[in-house]
C-alpha cells in the first residue's frame, strides 16, 4: 500500500507496521547475538524502518525502491539489515555473518552493497551526498525523493550545516533528512560532549521545514512523512527522539546505554522471548 492509499485503512496499516517493526527488532537481536553489535540503535529505529521501507519508499515494480535512501551513520546499518530481511533482500543466514571475518555484511557498509548508496561511517558525509543526489535527480527531471538518516552526534560536524545551506539554497523539496536524536555519541551523551539543541530551530534558521516527533510512534512518523510530501519549496527535516532498546523492556533494564553492545546469551534470549511474544500478540490482532 502506497502513502496515498491510506484513506479508510489507517488503523489496519498502523497495526501492520507495528508488526513489521516488531519483526525488525527480532531480526536485530538475532543478528547481534552472534558477535555483538549496535543492537540498541537498531531496536530503537525499528518503527522508523518499518514506516520508511514498507510505506514511504515507493517501489520500482522490479523488486527494489523507486525513491532513494542514504545511510550516513554506518552503525545504524543494523536497522537497514533488519528491515531488508523482511523485504526479502537478505536472508537471516546471510545477516548472521554480520561483523564476521570475510563477511559481506559489514557493520558500516560500503557503496554498492545491497541497500546502501554510499560508503558509510565517516560521520557527517551522508547529508551532503544526499543533497547532491537530490539535486541531481531534480536536474534529470526525476520525481524520485531522497531520504537520509543521520545521528544527532553528526550535527557536531560542520559538513552537515554546509549541506543544509546547499539544500535550502536550491529549495530541494525532494530531500528529507531523518535525524536519530538519541543524545548519544561514541563517547557519551551529546549533551555533555557538545550540545546540539535546539535542533528544529537550527534547521529552520537554515531554511528547512522541521518537525520533531517521538521516533517510536508509528502515527507520528507517518504524519511527518505525509507533511514532507506536501512541502514544495524547501527541504524537510524530521527530528526523531529515540532511546536505545525502546520496544524491548527487558533489555532496556539490564543492558548499558552504550554505543555498542556485547551482551550475555541470557540477555539476548530474554529479549527474543519478549519480542516474540509481542509478535504473536500483534499477529493475533490483525
Q: Cα(267)–Cα(58) distance, rounded to whole angstroms?
A: 37
122: three-class secondary structure by DSSP: coil
171: domain CATH number is 3.40.50.970
Q: Provide the greatest CA pair distance for the chain.
A: 53
Type and span of the H or E element at 16: helix 10-32
Beta-carbon neighbour count of residue 186 at 10 Å? 12
> Is 35 inside any structural domain?
yes
Residue 244 lies in domain: 11-285
Instruction: pLDDT tens for the chain, 286 residues: list them.
Output: 444 444 436 888 999 999 999 999 999 999 999 988 899 999 999 999 999 999 999 999 999 999 999 999 999 999 999 999 999 999 999 999 998 999 989 989 999 999 999 998 788 999 999 999 999 999 999 999 999 999 999 999 999 999 999 999 999 999 999 999 999 887 778 898 899 999 999 999 999 999 999 999 999 999 999 999 999 999 999 999 999 999 999 999 888 777 778 889 999 999 999 999 999 999 999 8
For residue 5, being part of any structural domain is answered with no
CA separation for the pair 144, 123 (Å, rounded): 25
The verdict on residue 2 lying in a domain is no
Specify the number of domains making up the chain: 1
Q: How far apart are the first and last CA of the chain?
A: 16
Three-class SS of residue 69? strand
Name the 3-class secondary structure at 135. helix
Amino acid at each position: 500500500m502506497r502513502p496515498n492509499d491510506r484513506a479508510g485503512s489507517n488503523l489496519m496499516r498502523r497495526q501492520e507496521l507495528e508488526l513489521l517493526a516488531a519483526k525488525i527488532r527480532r531480526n536485530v537481536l538475532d543478528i547481534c547475538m552472534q558477535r555483538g553489535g549496535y543492537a540498541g540503535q537498531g531496536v530503537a529505529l525499528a518503527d522508523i524502518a518499518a514506516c520508511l521501507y514498507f510505506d514511504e519508499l515507493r517501489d520500482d515494480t522490479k523488486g527494489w525502491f523507486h525513491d532513494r535512501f542514504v545511510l550516513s551513520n554506518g552503525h545504524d546499518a543494523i536497522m537497514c539489515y533488519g528491515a531488508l530481511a523482511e523485504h526479502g533482500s537478505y536472508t537471516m543466514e546471510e545477516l548472521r555473518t554480520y561483523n564476521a571475518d570475510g563477511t559481506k555484511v559489514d557493520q558500516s557498509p560500503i557503496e554498492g552493497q545491497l541497500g546502501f548508496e554510499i560508503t558509510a561511517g565517516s560521520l557527517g558525509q551522508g547529508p551532503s551526498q544526499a543533497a547532491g543526489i537530490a539535486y541531481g535527480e531534480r536536474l534529470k527531471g526525476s520525481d524520485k525523493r531522497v531520504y537520509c538518516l543521520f545521528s544527532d552526534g553528526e550535527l557536531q560536524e560542520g559538513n552537515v550545516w554546509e549541506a543544509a545551506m546547499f539544500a535550502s539554497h536550491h529549495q530541494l523539496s525532494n530531500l528529507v533528512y531523518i535525524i536519530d536524536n538519541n543524545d548519544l555519541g561514541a563517547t557519551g551523551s551529546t549533551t555533555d560532549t557538545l550540545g546540539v539543541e535546539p535542533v528544529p530551530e537550527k534547521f529552520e534558521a537554515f531554511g528547512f521545514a522541521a518537525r520533531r516527533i517521538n521516533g517510536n510512534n508509528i502515527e507520528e512518523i507517518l504524519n511527518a512523512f505525509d507533511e514532507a510530501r506536501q512541502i514544495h519549496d524547501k527541504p524537510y527535516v524530521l527530528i526523531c527522539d529515540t532511546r536505545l532498546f525502546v520496544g524491548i523492556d527487558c533489555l532496556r533494564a539490564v543492558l548499558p546505554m552504550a554505543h555498542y553492545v556485547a551482551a550475555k546469551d541470557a540477555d539476548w534470549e530474554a529479549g527474543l522471548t519478549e519480542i516474540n511474544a509481542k509478535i504473536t500478540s500483534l499477529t493475533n490482532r490483525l
